[in-house]
């Protein structure tokens, strides 16, 4: 914990020093103390925005987790299903969300649905891809073992392939946690709600300190979501040791 | 096994014309150089792979297989790993736990039944794997170089343990190995396979008594058997 704290404090002090000396104008880069002041003066507004962004991110992420894992299981069932649908899963990933966000607003209206959809589209792919990788990497000897004892495909999935894929699933979920927040913010740029909307408005009003305050909160939100997923992963694999260290 | 043959796509011939009869209750060692097709042969006996020519007839129905490494499920305790085969076959929880405890006891892991694989040593994991094979009360036990990854001391002690288990249970055992001393120590009959494609170059009875102890490894009779297997192995190893 200490080394990153030292880096953080150094960077903050350096930014404060540089802007105070006037090397960079404070309407371009606000001083850390200005950001702190902005958080204090608009705390109510920021917290409300944080709440709506947080809720949308959480819903978007949960949707991604459930839909992504189910999709991966369907895709990993092999055969033509996988061949037919996998390209579209890749297609999802390459969709430029900034360009499609206005469309989402047309489809879902200017409310939370559009934001959640944006969050979901951005974060679902890593869940699918990583779960799929995990489901495909089942130890061949253990598959033989399950075949030898005539296990059905459902019990092979539940007792072998899915738990075996856990480390990969959580890798996907960790990536998705950060992306879900990014997707939410992008959606909010268009709908004008939450932290994304706040960033957009503050930017137009040249309130750079408020932009930074909102940015800081959205990063903290991403980190918090990431930490929750991480803790869940640790809990799920607490007895594995070796794979948890990966 | 009658004129068994297995060719993989791409033309690699793993097994070429192997005919072999294994009477029930025999302890057979299959010895051959690495990559000679021993594992392929064993997988075909287990029904995990199919021959491209020839036939296999198996009178025993309860087959158990032990792999090169322990291959336990890391998220299950020893007890739940060992009971897995019964669970997959739909045996009730109470019955399978009783059977699993018994098998764990037999391999001497009773104190570790509630530990996870990551908490065990390599030898203990292998013993758990052995218990998992024994839990179904198999009449045929197939082992694919099970102790190859272990250190010498652990390996020799597991050899003794396996031999004793066989004396108690008298199931058919086919033990694949590339270790000459292991084959000589464990089995009542050894076949030596040539380099790929596998053919039988030697089929010999090993008369070293029923119970085998580590002291046997120093006896002249043991050395003579080892030499016999070695010369067959070397003879078969050169491409004809």
- Tell me: do B51 and B160 sit in the same domain: yes
pLDDT at B205: 82
CA–CA dist B19, B202 (Å, integer): 12
Query: Does B175 reside within a domain?
Result: yes
Nearest chain B Cα distance for residue A244, angstroms? 11
Last residue of a domain, one of B137, B155, B170: B137
Average pLDDT over residues B31-49: 82
Measured in whole angstroms, the distance separating CA A116 from the mean position of its chain's CA atoms is 12
Which residues in chain B touch residue A238, judged by CB atoms under 8 angstroms apart? Answer: none
Last residue of a domain, one of B92, B118, B137: B137
What is the tally of helices (H) and strands (E) in chain A? Answer: 11, 0
Residue B240 has pLDDT above 60, yes or no: no
Nearest chain B Cα distance for residue A233, angstroms? 13
Sequence-distant (≥ 6) Cβ neighbours of residue B48 within 8 angstroms:
A144, A147, A148, B65
Give A246's pLDDT tier (boundaries 50, 70, 90): very low
Tell me whether the omega of the peptide bond preceding residue B218 falls within 30 degrees of 0, making it cis: no
Strand partners for B202? B192
Give B11's pLDDT tier (boundaries 50, 70, 90): low
Tokens at residue A202, please?
């503050």
pLDDT at B238: 47
Considering only CB atoms, A147 lies closest to which of B48, B68, B69, namely B48
B192-239 confidence digits (pLDDT tens): 887 777 778 888 787 777 777 777 777 787 778 888 888 877 776 444
Tokens at residue A89, please?
């899963």
| Residue from A140, A144, A145 whose CB has the most chain B CBs within 10 Å, to mutate | A145
A5-46 confidence digits (pLDDT tens): 999 899 999 989 998 888 888 888 888 888 899 889 888 999
Query: Does B184 reside within a domain?
Result: yes
The structural domain count of chain B equals 2
- Give all strands of the β-sheet with B63-66 in edge-to-edge order: B63-66, B140-144, B172-177, B27-31, B189-193, B200-205
Nearest chain A Cα distance for residue B131, angstroms? 14
Q: Are strands B27-31 and B189-193 parallel, antiparallel or unpaired?
A: parallel
The more confidently predicted of residues B3 and B149 is: B149
- Tell me: do B153 and B123 sit in the same domain: no
pLDDT at B7: 67
- Tell me: do B147 and B44 sit in the same domain: yes
Nearest chain B Cα distance for residue A135, angstroms? 15
CA–CA dist B11, B66 (Å, integer): 28
- Helical (H) or strand (E) element with B54: strand B53-55
Query: Does B165 reside within a domain?
Result: yes
Query: Does B226 reside within a domain?
Result: yes
| Residue from B50, B63, B73, B119 whose CB has the most chain A CBs within 10 Å, to mutate | B73
Among candidates A232, A169, A163, which has minimal Cα distance to B81? A163
A131-171 confidence digits (pLDDT tens): 999 998 888 889 999 988 888 888 889 899 999 999 999 99
Query: Does B132 reside within a domain?
Result: yes
Tokens at residue A87, please?
């390209």
Burial code (b: 16+ CB inside 10 Å, e: under 16) for B171-180 equals bbbbbbbbbb
- Tell me: do B103 and B162 sit in the same domain: no
Query: Does B240 reside within a domain?
Result: no
Cα–Cα distance list, A6 to A10, A17, A21, A99 (Å): 6, 16, 22, 39
Among candidates B177, B113, B219, which has minimal Cα distance to B162? B177
- Tell me: do B52 and B8 sit in the same domain: yes
B86-127 confidence digits (pLDDT tens): 999 888 999 999 999 999 988 888 899 999 999 898 889 999
- CATH number of the domain where residue B26 is located: 3.40.50.300
Considering only CB atoms, B74 lies closest to which of A144, A151, A243, namely A243
Give A245's pLDDT tier (boundaries 50, 70, 90): very low
Query: Does B185 reside within a domain?
Result: yes
Residue A123 has pLDDT above 70, yes or no: yes
CB contact under 8 A, B71 and A145: yes
CB contact under 8 A, B88 and A239: no
Residue B170: give the domain boundaries: 2-62+138-235
pTM above 0.90, yes or no: no
- Tell me: do B206 and B110 sit in the same domain: no
Q: Which chain A residues touch B if contact means CB-CB below 8 Å?
A: 139, 141-142, 144-151, 155, 159-160, 163-164, 166, 237, 239-243
CB B131 within 8 A of CB B70: no
pLDDT at A116: 94
CB contact under 8 A, B116 and A239: yes
- Tell me: do B41 and B90 sit in the same domain: no
- Tell me: do B133 and B166 sit in the same domain: no
Query: Does B123 reside within a domain?
Result: yes
Which residues in chain B touch residue A242, judged by CB atoms under 8 angstroms apart? Answer: 74, 118
- The answer to whether residue B49 neighbours chain A at the CB level (below 8 Å) is no
């Amino acid at each position: 914990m200490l080394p990153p704290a030292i880096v953080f404090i150094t960077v903050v002090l350096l930014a404060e020093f540089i802007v105070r000396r006037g090397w960079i104008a404070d309407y371009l880069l606000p001083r850390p103390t200005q950001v702190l002041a902005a958080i204090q003066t608009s705390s109510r507004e920021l917290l409300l925005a944080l709440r709506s962004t947080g809720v949308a991110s959480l819903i978007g992420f949960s949707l991604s987790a459930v839909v992504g894992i189910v999709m991966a299981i369907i895709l990993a069932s092999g055969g033509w299903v996988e061949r037919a649908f996998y390209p579209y899963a890749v297609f999802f990933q390459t969709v430029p969300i900034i360009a499609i966000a206005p469309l989402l607003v047309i489809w879902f209206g200017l409310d939370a649905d559009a934001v959640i959809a944006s969050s979901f589209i951005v974060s679902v792919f890593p869940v699918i891809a990583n779960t799929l990788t995990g489901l495909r990497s089942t130890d061949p000897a253990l598959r033989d073992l399950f075949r030898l004892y005539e296990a059905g495909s459902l019990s092979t999935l539940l007792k072998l392939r899915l738990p075996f894929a856990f480390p990969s699933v959580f890798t996907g979920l960790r990536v998705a946690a950060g992306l879900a927040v990014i997707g939410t913010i992008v959606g909010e740029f268009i709908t004008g709600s939450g932290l994304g909307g706040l960033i957009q408005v503050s930017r137009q009003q040249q309130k750079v300190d408020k932009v930074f305050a909102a940015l800081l909160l959205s990063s903290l939100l991403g980190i918090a979501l990431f930490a929750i997923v991480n803790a869940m992963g640790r809990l799920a694999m607490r007895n594995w040791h070796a794979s948890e260290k990966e | 096994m009658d004129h068994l043959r297995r060719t993989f796509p791409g033309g690699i011939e793993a097994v070429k014309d192997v005919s072999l009869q294994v009477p029930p209750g025999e302890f057979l060692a299959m010895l051959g150089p690495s990559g000679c097709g021993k594992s392929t042969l064993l997988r075909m006996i287990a029904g995990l792979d199919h021959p491209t020519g020839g036939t296999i007839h198996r009178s025993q129905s309860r087959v158990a297989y032990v792999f090169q490494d322990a291959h336990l499920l890391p998220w299950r305790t020893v007890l739940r790993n060992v009971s897995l085969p019964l669970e997959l076959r739909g045996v009730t929880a109470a019955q399978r736990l009783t059977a699993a405890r018994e098998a764990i006891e037999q391999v001497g892991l009773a104190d570790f039944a509630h530990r996870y694989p990551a908490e065990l040593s390599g030898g203990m994991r292998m013993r758990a794997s052995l218990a998992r094979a024994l839990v179904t009360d198999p009449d045929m036990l197939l082992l694919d170089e099970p102790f190859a990854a272990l250190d010498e001391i652990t390996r020799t002690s597991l050899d003794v343990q396996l031999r004793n288990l066989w004396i108690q249970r008298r199931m058919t055992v086919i033990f694949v190995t590339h270790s000459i001393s292991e084959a000589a120590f464990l089995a009542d009959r050894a076949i030596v396979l040539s380099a790929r494609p596998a053919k039988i170059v030697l089929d010999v009875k090993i008369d070293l008594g029923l119970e085998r102890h580590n002291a046997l490894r120093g006896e002249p009779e043991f050395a003579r058997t080892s030499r016999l297997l070695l010369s067959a192995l070397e003879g078969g190893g050169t491409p004809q």
